[in-house]
Amino acid sequence: MNKTIQFTEELYTYLLDHNLNETSEQKELRELTATMPEAEMQISAEQGTFMQFLVTVIGANRTLEIGVFTGYSSLAVALALPRGGSIVACDVSEEFTNVARPFWDRAGVANMIDLRIAPALETLDSLVAAGEENSFDFAFIDADKANYVLYYERCLELIRPGGIIAVDNTLWAGEVTNREKTDEDTVAIRTLNRLVHQDKRVVSTLINVGDGVLLATKK
Ligand code: CA
């Protein structure tokens, strides 16, 4: 039986009212991004709070982000990290990440965010090649879905035992159960969900925050 409650606008507002303690930069960046044609690529606001909670609980210091877009998630995570914390942030778009930069600056976290404009697999492979396995605490994957399994495998190498990988869009607006959907992205998300669920290297849970978030912690 489905025990997940449905959200009315009123209930969602209540949820946000009990989640968000956004800085003015977070709020402005989120509202600016919401006006863009690609607005649906931005994480939900309460998801930002959720990631802040996660990185705080595990005492994260070094984190990875695969897919920056306009920087709301990296801003949220950076604000929750201790002084000296850092994010290696991977994206291929100068255009979108240029939206982020002034907000990172104003929030005083720009020096914590090491933005790498390159295909994320190249950046992740270079970190592995540099001997950085087991040295990150947290990874957020929210980029091209076709590469999700590859991103997951690299991030699993790079995070430490007890570190967390969070993967966005893993319920894919409900399309994961739509048998008629066989496009590359949808298939890749199903493949990752199945792989992680059966993966003995991690403890995992798939939860319905935003568009679905898959969480895995390395044993
Ligand atoms: Ca997303």
| Structural domains of the chain ordered from first start | 9-218 (3.40.50.150)
pLDDT of residue 101: 97
pLDDT of residue 60: 98
User: What is the mean pLDDT of the segment spanning 125-134?
Assistant: 98
Ligand 1 centroid, distance to 115 Cα (angstroms)? 18
**Dihedral of alpha carbons 194, 196, 201, 207, sign:** negative
Ligand 1 centroid, distance to 199 Cα (angstroms)? 23
Structural contact between residues 35 and 53, judged by C-beta atoms closer than 8 angstroms: no
pLDDT of residue 157: 98
Q: Tell me the percentage of the chain whose pLDDT exceeds 70.
A: 100
Ligand 1 centroid, distance to 42 Cα (angstroms)? 6
User: What is the mean pLDDT of the segment spanning 14-27?
Assistant: 96
pLDDT of residue 1: 86
User: What is the mean pLDDT of the segment spanning 91-95?
Assistant: 97
User: What is the mean pLDDT of the segment spanning 100-121?
Assistant: 98
CB atoms within 10 A of CB 159: 27
User: What is the mean pLDDT of the segment spanning 52-62?
Assistant: 98
Ligand 1 centroid, distance to 40 Cα (angstroms)? 8
**Confidence bin at 96 (pLDDT 50/70/90):** very high
User: What is the mean pLDDT of the segment spanning 89-111?
Assistant: 97
Ligand 1 centroid, distance to 142 Cα (angstroms)? 5
pLDDT of residue 185: 98
Question: 171-210 pLDDT, tens per residue?
Answer: 999 999 999 999 999 999 999 999 999 999 999 999 999 9
CA-to-CA distance for 168 and 43, rounded, in angstroms? 8
Ligand 1 centroid, distance to 169 Cα (angstroms)? 5
**Confidence bin at 42 (pLDDT 50/70/90):** very high
The overall average pLDDT reported for the chain is 97
pLDDT of residue 162: 98
